[in-house]
């Protein structure tokens, strides 16, 4: 099927993109296009205009800013995976991106596009939650920073305003003795996460957990942190029994999706199992850091 007619704009700056969004209320931003274009071809999305932001220089690239690592919103997955700074300090990002789609997707898909789209089965939302990221957005009233904890609101819904452009994702550099892991059970047809769990664990000098962040994607309508798991880990020696007990709380209070591939009960089970695996692997990596 062909998409509905639309007007195409190519923005040369963030301010131009914002102005175009203001002038075209029904417009959509185009970055990698791997979610938007198929939806348009199926006429699930019929924007009156597309605003191409792929060639705005300041929106791509990876850099250090003090104690943070900043990734431009239109930076493609493959560039992130190959970046030495990211591999060394935020290894969970390449680990998760390695199981996103296929080679073609990883060479066109962008980190900002995935996060702004907020697909409930996308991998990156759980990762940015576990890494305690901040998301930078620019709109008619200037720039603002949105904590990852407040960014994902509902199914395909974020805290971004309709006239805002997501410009960058900022990650704090992990503390010493920090390990991280992303564990995923993928849909065999699409590769999307039936359930994916990201865990970032920091150990103190005494070997006990001093900090932990655990987030789940795929299981419900949007990615969420599992603070009950985190609280059960912090201050404890992360033995196998402690991790198992903490992971048993991962599904508590969650709303689970149900479809032809996985029921609510199965997703709840996967959430607990993958949380145990992700935390265990993160602890193992923290001990060897």
φ/ψ (deg, to 5) at 52? -80, 120
C-alpha dist (Å) from residue 124 to 52, 132, 268: 22, 12, 20
Q: CA 89 from chain center: how many Å?
A: 17
Query: What is the percentage of the chain residues whose pLDDT exceeds 90?
Result: 91
State the average pLDDT for the chain: 96
The tokens describing 246, both together, are 């903490």
Is the confidence at residue 102, as pLDDT, over 80?
no
How do beta strands 7-10 and 49-52 pair? parallel
Report pLDDT digits (tens) over 105-121.
888 899 999 999 999 99
Which of the four pLDDT bands, split at 50, 70 and 90, describes residue 126? very high
Annotate 260-284 with DSSP letters as a single string: SS--HHHHHHHHHHHHHHHHHHHHH
pLDDT value for 103: 74
Sheet holding 7-10, edge to edge: 7-10, 49-52, 28-30
Q: For residue 1, is pLDDT > 80?
A: no
Going along the chain from its start, the domains and CATH numbers come out as 7-51 (3.30.43.10), 60-172 (3.30.465.10), 178-288 (3.30.390.50)
At residue 107, the pLDDT reads: 81
Say whether pLDDT at 153 is over 80. Answer: yes
Give Cβ neighbours of residue 13 (< 8 Å, ≥ 6 apart).
Answer: 56, 58
Q: Is 2 exposed, middle or buried (0-12, 13-18, 19+ CB in 10 A)?
A: exposed
**Cβ of 102: how many Cβ atoms within 10 Å?**
8
Looking from the CA of 72 toward its CB, the CA atoms found within 13 Å total: 17
For residue range 218-265, list pLDDT tens digits in order. 999 999 999 999 999 999 999 999 999 999 999 999 999 999 999 999
Contacts of residue 259, Cβ cutoff 8 Å, sequence gap at least 6? none
Pair type for strands 193-203 and 142-147 = unpaired
Burial, 273: exposed, middle or buried (Cβ in 10 Å; 0-12, 13-18, 19+)?
middle
Strands 209-217 and 193-203: antiparallel
Mean pLDDT along residues 134-150? 98
pLDDT tens by residue, 162-175: 999 999 999 999 99
Query: Quick one: DSSP state of residue 107?
Result: T
Q: Whole-angstrom Cα distance, residue 256 to residue 221?
A: 7
> How far, rounded to the nearest angstrom, does the alpha carbon of residue 170 sit from its chain's CA centroid?
12
Q: What is the pLDDT of residue 289?
A: 85
Query: For position 133, what pLDDT does the model report?
Result: 98
Strands of the chain, DSSP E:
7-10, 28-30, 49-52, 62-65, 68-72, 134-139, 142-147, 152-154, 157-158, 165-172, 178-186, 193-203, 209-217, 224-225
On whether the CB atoms of residues 232 and 249 are closer than 8 A, the answer is: yes
């Amino acid at each position: 099927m062909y998409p509905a007619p639309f007007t195409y704009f190519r923005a040369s700056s963030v301010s131009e993109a914002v102005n175009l969004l203001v002038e075209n209320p029904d417009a959509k931003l185009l970055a990698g296009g791997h979610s938007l274009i198929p939806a348009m071809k199926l006429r699930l999305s019929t924007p009156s205009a597309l605003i191409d932001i792929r060639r705005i220089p300041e929106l791509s690239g990876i850099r250090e800013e003090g104690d943070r690592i900043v990734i431009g919103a239109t930076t493609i997955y493959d560039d992130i995976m190959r970046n030495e700074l990211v591999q060394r300090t935020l290894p969970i990002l390449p680990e998760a991106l390695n199981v996103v789609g296929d080679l073609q997707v990883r060479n066109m898909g962008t980190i900002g596009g995935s996060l702004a789209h907020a697909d409930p089965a996308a991998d990156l939302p759980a990762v940015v939650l576990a890494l305690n990221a901040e998301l930078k957005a620019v709109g008619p009233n200037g720039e603002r920073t949105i904590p990852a904890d407040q960014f994902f609101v509902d199914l395909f819904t974020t805290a971004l305003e309709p006239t805002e452009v997501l410009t960058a994702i900022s990650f704090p550099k992990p503390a010493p003795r920090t390990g991280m892991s992303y564990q995923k059970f993928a849909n065999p047809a699409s590769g999307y996460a039936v359930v994916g769990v990201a865990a970032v664990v920091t150990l103190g000098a005494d070997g006990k957990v001093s900090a932990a962040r655990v987030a789940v994607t795929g299981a419900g309508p949007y990615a969420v942190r599992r603070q009950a798991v985190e609280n059960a880990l912090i201050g404890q020696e992360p033995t196998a029994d402690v991790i198992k007990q903490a992971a048993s709380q991962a599904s508590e209070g969650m709303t689970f999706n149900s479809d032809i591939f996985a029921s609510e009960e199965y997703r709840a089970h996967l959430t607990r199992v993958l949380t145990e695996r992700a935390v265990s692997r993160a602890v193992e990596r923290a001990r060897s850091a």
